[in-house]
């Protein structure tokens, strides 16, 4: 008699689950487009900078893709939390799986979201710039920051890394909430409290300056990757013993 039990390697299981998630959550990418388009429309307003001297006032609308990247980060954060909810976890019980392979498949999916999101958000910024030049005409563009290919790649990589970092934070938060609902309130209040009390007027070293003020790209990438790895490891430890499908 042939055995019905097949031994599946971890990598095989992770791969299967990852492709399953890609199919199951493909709607997330439509949501990404909507989030980015909202960012796009806000970006058309630009940052408003004004200065005056005696009778003369000069205003400048400065355009960039910062808001699109911000909306993209909001999207990955939301989607990463979504990956940890009860429905998403129960869905994976159709597979012969354990928590470890599920977490690894989720990590791959988060990386995919971050790469696609970070790349498209940055590239959408060039649609904004082209539209601004087309709408107002080149003669009304006062300042223009040129971009090199290296600059573009750095910009994309940074957007991807920020997306990944925030997505992992969202994923960890989601896992924590699954442990106990009280964390749904404790974590945001703690983070908000940190930001309020930690207003940093003099650029003193803090968690914010540690990441956002790092001017060396390699160091920045190492910091983000290591911190994300640490957070992900913590996330995998939550509810480790909850192996049973919850109703």
Partner 1 sequence: MNAVFLLAFILMIFLVVLARGIHKLLSRKLKWRILIVYVSVLVLATGAYFMLQPRFITQNNVVEKPFIPDVLKQSNGGEIPQKYEVTSWEIALENQSLFLDTAAKFDGVDFEEPTDLYVESDVYIPVLVKQGEVEKAHVTVYETPTTLKGIDISDHVAISTVDVTGNHVIVTPTPHSTTNFHSIRNDVTLYQFSDRRSMLGIHYDLDIGEVGLVITVPKGTKVEADSEYFDIIE
Indicate the helix (H) or strand (E) that contains 50: strand 47-53
Distance CA(102)–CA(118), nearest Å, equals 24
- Which CB atom, from 63 or from 238, has the smaller least distance to partner 1? 63
Cβ-count burial of 246 within 10 angstroms (0-12 exposed, 13-18 middle, 19+ buried)?
exposed
What's the min distance (Å) between Cβ of 198 and partner 1?
Answer: 19
What's the min distance (Å) between Cβ of 110 and partner 1?
Answer: 17
What's the min distance (Å) between Cβ of 75 and partner 1?
Answer: 12
Distance CA(221)–CA(98), nearest Å, equals 30
- Which CB atom, from 4 or from 149, has the smaller least distance to partner 1? 149
Distance CA(231)–CA(197), nearest Å, equals 23
- Which CB atom, from 135 or from 202, has the smaller least distance to partner 1? 135
- Which CB atom, from 144 or from 202, has the smaller least distance to partner 1? 144
Q: CB–CB of 165/227 below 8 Å?
A: yes
What's the min distance (Å) between Cβ of 81 and partner 1?
Answer: 17
């Amino acid at each position: 008699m042939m055995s019905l039990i097949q031994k599946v390697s971890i990598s095989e299981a992770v791969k299967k689950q990852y492709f399953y998630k890609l199919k199951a959550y493909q709607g997330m990418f439509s949501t990404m487009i909507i989030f980015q388009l909202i960012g796009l429309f806000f970006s058309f307003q630009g940052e408003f900078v004004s200065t005056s001297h005696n009778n003369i006032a000069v205003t400048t609308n400065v355009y960039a893709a910062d808001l699109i990247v911000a909306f993209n980060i909001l999207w990955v954060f939301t989607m990463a939390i979504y990956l940890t909810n009860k429905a998403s976890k129960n869905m994976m019980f159709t597979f012969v799986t354990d928590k470890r392979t599920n977490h690894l498949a989720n990590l791959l999916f988060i990386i995919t979201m971050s790469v696609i999101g970070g790349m498209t958000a940055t590239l959408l910024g060039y649609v904004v710039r082209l539209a601004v030049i087309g709408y107002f005409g080149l003669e009304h563009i006062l300042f223009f920051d040129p971009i090199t290919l290296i600059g573009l790649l750095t910009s994309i990589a940074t957007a991807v890394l920020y997306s990944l970092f925030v997505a992992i934070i969202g994923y960890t938060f989601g896992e924590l909430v699954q442990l106990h609902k009280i964390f749904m309130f404790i974590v945001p209040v703690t983070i908000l409290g940190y930001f309020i009390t930690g207003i940093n007027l003099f650029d003193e070293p803090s968690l914010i300056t540690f990441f956002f003020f790092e001017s060396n790209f390699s160091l920045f990438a190492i910091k983000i990757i290591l911190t994300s790895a640490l957070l992900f490891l913590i996330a995998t430890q939550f509810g480790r013993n909850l192996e049973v499908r919850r109703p």
